[in-house]
């Protein structure tokens, strides 16, 4: 009994330390997210669209398919053309966000300056900032209902800290989440778990009529196994460790296994008509955010332009 009490006490101390560490980092991560969101906002168009509502959006030229009562005569009087006053669609779209905060995400190699966890959090907060600016409603899967408030990221941070303090990890699983139909869902993580674990959760969400986007955050060393010589590999979640006498000899087989895993994941996503965006932590976060925003907006041209700029910058 005493040993069980000691284990519980040790676990509680560990959870408290995790929550405190997360709370200490989140203010800086939110500031970084705001900076990235503001930078990206200058380079993309909002997700607003024409539709029924009371809020004025823009003027456009009159078309033969328009009825005469749509003409704005005051605006048209200042020109030799007729103009129509368009109103903004007021049915705000809902985007659910989720981030993997498991121990495997708390990793940074010698090739990157940030952990996968911190970059995933920054991208999630930045996406929320950008979406709210565009008039969308943003929710945190299992932790916070959708909202369009300006302090959305602050509320998200509070929810994540509370969840970490109580459970040490996400209290829910995606396989048990209930989301609103016709919403978008953006998942941030490394998605290196076995496909048998990932697929049921994705199918559960897709079965609710949710459009999904995976942002796979990887350290560059995980992509290439950039290690040589005698290296000890440790499992941050299972506690197992393995000593490799010459790590470079594992590189080719490792890359093959990673490619197989990625192909299996993409196969699942194609069936669900979901997307996957790969982001390495040694690259600017703005690149991933611009591509994600283009995908959420259904702007294939903007996404292609973003990819071209990223490729040129990487040369």
- pLDDT tens-digit series, residues 227-271: 999 988 888 777 788 888 898 999 999 999 999 999 999 999 999
Q: Above 50 in pLDDT, residue 150?
A: yes
pLDDT-based confidence at residue 92 (cuts at 50, 70, 90): low
- Cα separation, 194 vs 198, whole angstroms: 7
Residue spans per domain, the chain: 2-47+93-314, 56-87
Provide the greatest CA pair distance for the chain.
88
3 state DSSP class of 238: coil
Percent of the chain with pLDDT over 90: 44
Q: Give the predicted TM-score (pTM) of the model.
A: 0.77
Average pLDDT value for residue range 161-188 = 75
pLDDT-based confidence at residue 146 (cuts at 50, 70, 90): very high
- pLDDT tens-digit series, residues 94-134: 999 999 988 889 999 999 999 999 999 999 999 999 999 88
Give the chain's end-to-end CA distance (angstroms, integer): 61
Number of neighbouring beta carbons within 10 Å of residue 209: 11
- pLDDT tens-digit series, residues 260-292: 999 999 999 999 999 999 999 999 999 999 999
Q: Above 80 in pLDDT, residue 91?
A: no
Q: Mean pLDDT in the chain?
A: 81
- Who's near 153: CB < 8 A, 6+ residues apart? 30, 33, 34, 125, 128, 129
Residue 132's alpha-carbon distances to 52, 79, 125, 129, 150, in angstroms, are: 20, 35, 11, 5, 7
- Who's near 207: CB < 8 A, 6+ residues apart? none
**Environment class of 164 (CB within 10 Å of its CB; exposed 0-12, middle 13-18, buried 19+):** buried
Average pLDDT value for residue range 156-179 = 73
pLDDT-based confidence at residue 309 (cuts at 50, 70, 90): very low
Enumerate long-range contacts of 18-24, CB under 8 Å, 24 or more apart. Answer: 18/164, 18/168, 19/161, 19/164, 19/165, 22/101, 22/160, 22/161, 22/164, 23/161
Contact call for residues 86 and 71 (beta carbons, < 8 A): no
Residue 298's alpha-carbon distances to 39, 79, 87, 305, 313, in angstroms, are: 20, 34, 21, 13, 24
3 state DSSP class of 71: strand
Q: Above 90 in pLDDT, residue 10?
A: no
pLDDT at 40: 83
> Residues of 121-146 as b/e, b for ≥16 C-beta within 10 angstroms?
bbbbbbbbbbbbebbbbbbbbbbbeb
Contact call for residues 185 and 141 (beta carbons, < 8 A): yes
Average pLDDT value for residue range 193-205 = 93
* Of residues 162, 117, 168, 240, the one with CA closest to residue 10: 168
Give the CA count within 13 Å in the CB-facing half-sphere of 152.
Answer: 27
- pLDDT tens-digit series, residues 41-80: 765 544 544 444 445 556 778 777 677 777 888 888 888 8
């Amino acid at each position: 009994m005493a040993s069980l009490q000691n284990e519980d006490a040790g676990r509680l101390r560990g959870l408290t330390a995790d929550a405190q560490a997360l709370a200490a980092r989140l203010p800086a991560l939110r500031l970084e997210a705001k900076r990235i969101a503001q930078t990206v906002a200058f380079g993309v168009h909002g997700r607003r669209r024409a539709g029924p509502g009371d809020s004025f959006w823009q003027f456009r030229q009159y078309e033969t398919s328009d009825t005469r009562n749509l003409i704005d005569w005051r605006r048209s009087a200042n020109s030799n053309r007729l103009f129509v006053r368009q109103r903004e669609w007021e049915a705000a779209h809902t985007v659910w966000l989720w981030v993997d905060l498991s121990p495997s995400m708390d990793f940074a190699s010698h090739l990157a300056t940030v952990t996968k966890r911190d970059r995933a959090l920054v991208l999630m907060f930045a996406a929320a900032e950008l979406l709210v600016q565009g008039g969308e409603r943003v929710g945190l899967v299992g932790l916070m209902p959708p909202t369009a408030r300006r302090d959305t990221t602050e509320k998200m941070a509070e929810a994540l800290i509370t969840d970490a303090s109580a459970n040490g990890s996400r209290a829910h699983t995606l396989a048990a989440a209930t989301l609103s139909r016709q919403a978008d869902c953006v998942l941030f993580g490394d998605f290196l778990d076995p496909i048998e674990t990932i697929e049921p959760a994705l199918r559960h969400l897709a079965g609710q009529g949710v459009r999904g986007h995976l942002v796979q955050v990887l350290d560059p060393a995980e992509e290439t196994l950039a290690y040589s010589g005698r290296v000890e590999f440790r499992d941050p979640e299972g506690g197992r460790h393995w000593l490799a006498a010459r790590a470079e000899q594992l590189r080719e087989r490792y890359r093959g296994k990673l490619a197989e895993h990625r192909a299996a994941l993409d196969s699942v996503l194609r069936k669900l008509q979901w997307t996957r965006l790969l982001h390495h932590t040694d690259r600017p976060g703005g690149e991933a955010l611009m591509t994600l925003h283009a995908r959420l907006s259904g702007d294939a041209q903007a996404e292609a332009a973003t990819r071209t700029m990223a490729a040129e910058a990487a040369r």
